[in-house]
């Protein structure tokens, strides 16, 4: 049934979307202007081109379990992952200016990371048990560490993250209205932690220090469909809605154009 449904979808696409898209592909081929490298979770509910209303040619999208970007220190010569390769393809080769990490609520990967955050198993043991758990342990470790700081303060104290450069630190109050579960708070922390990881690559440094590349965080609330943008000015994830848009617009136009 599953594969039949997919083939039916392909047939429907042939009859409805194909022609329009081929014309869009031609425009992009002749005059590409990609706007963002977008890291998000592989979760089937995440449809980034729909909730950002972007189109052919707009975004390079990288998806994995938990929207993790491995830190440069964890990608030595023996370990190669796709995320830094995607950053290079997007920001260095194609000159993309904005990198966005988008997490979400009820993230199965983050729920799992939350559950195993105090586990005393080694990475080797985890690798034998489950590649997913090993991936989360290896690359979610720093997020779990930040979450532990938050937990220690009873979810009150702000956290400090690094953005484009070590000097560009920002402060984040995680879920100050206490609307979300612990797992969702971890997901928000994890989303911000990836900005630091993105900035850890040498090949990104030049663009990041010269203001040719900026990094941002979004968070999608799957329960309500609301999208939050992390405002460094307001030091928290702010719901992108009619009430907040003016202030957010001012911030992104002032700092990130
Ligand atoms: Zn997820």
CA angle 60, 65, 70 (to 5 degrees): 70
Instruction: Flag whether 107 is marked binding.
Output: yes
Domain-located, residue 11? no
pLDDT for position 85: 96
Domain-located, residue 89? yes
Residue 76 has pLDDT above 80, yes or no: no
Number of residues that make up the chain: 257
Q: For residue 169, how far is its CA from the centre of ligand 1 (angstroms)?
A: 26
* Domain membership of residue 167 as a residue range: 32-255
Q: Which residues hold their Cβ within 5 A of ligand 1, which is an ion? A: 41, 43, 107, 109
Domains of the chain: total: 1
Instruction: Flag whether 104 is marked binding.
Output: yes
The rounded percent of the chain whose pLDDT value lies above 90 is 93
pLDDT for position 78: 77
Q: For residue 83, how far is its CA from the centre of ligand 1 (angstroms)?
A: 16
Domain-located, residue 166? yes
Q: Phi first, then psi: give them for residue 36, nearest 5 degrees.
A: -155, 150
Domain-located, residue 142? yes
Q: For residue 191, how far is its CA from the centre of ligand 1 (angstroms)?
A: 11
Separation CA 48–CA 52 (nearest Å):
6
Domain-located, residue 219? yes
pLDDT for position 108: 98
Domain-located, residue 21? no
pTM of the model: 0.95
Q: For residue 111, how far is its CA from the centre of ligand 1 (angstroms)?
A: 9
Domain-located, residue 16? no
pLDDT for position 79: 80
Domain-located, residue 26? no
């Amino acid at each position: 049934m599953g594969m039949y449904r997919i083939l039916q979808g392909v047939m429907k696409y042939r009859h409805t979307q194909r022609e329009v898209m081929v014309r869009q592909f031609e425009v992009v081929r002749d005059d590409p202007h990609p706007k963002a490298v977008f890291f998000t979770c592989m979760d089937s509910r995440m449809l980034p081109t729909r909730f950002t209303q972007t189109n052919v040619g707009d975004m390079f999208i990288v998806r994995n379990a938990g929207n993790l970007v491995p830190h440069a220190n964890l990608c030595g010569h023996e370990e190669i992952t796709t995320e830094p390769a995607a950053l290079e393809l997007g920001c260095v080769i194609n000159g993309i200016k904005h990198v966005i990490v988008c997490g979400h609520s009820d993230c199965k990967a983050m729920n799992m990371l939350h559950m195993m955050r105090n586990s005393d198993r080694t990475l080797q043991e985890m690798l034998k048990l489950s590649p997913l758990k090993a991936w989360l342990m290896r690359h979610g470790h720093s997020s779990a560490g930040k979450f532990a700081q938050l937990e220690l303060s009873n979810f009150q104290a702000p956290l400090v993250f690094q953005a484009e450069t070590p000097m560009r630190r920002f402060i984040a109050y995680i879920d100050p209205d206490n609307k979300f579960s612990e797992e969702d708070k971890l997901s928000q922390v994890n989303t911000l932690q990836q900005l630091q990881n993105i900035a850890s690559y040498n090949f990104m440094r030049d663009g990041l220090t010269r203001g040719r590349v900026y990094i941002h965080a979004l968070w999608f609330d799957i329960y309500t469909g609301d999208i939050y943008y992390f405002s460094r000015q307001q030091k928290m994830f702010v719901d992108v809605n009619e009430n907040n848009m003016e202030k957010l617009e001012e911030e992104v136009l002032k700092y990130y154009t």
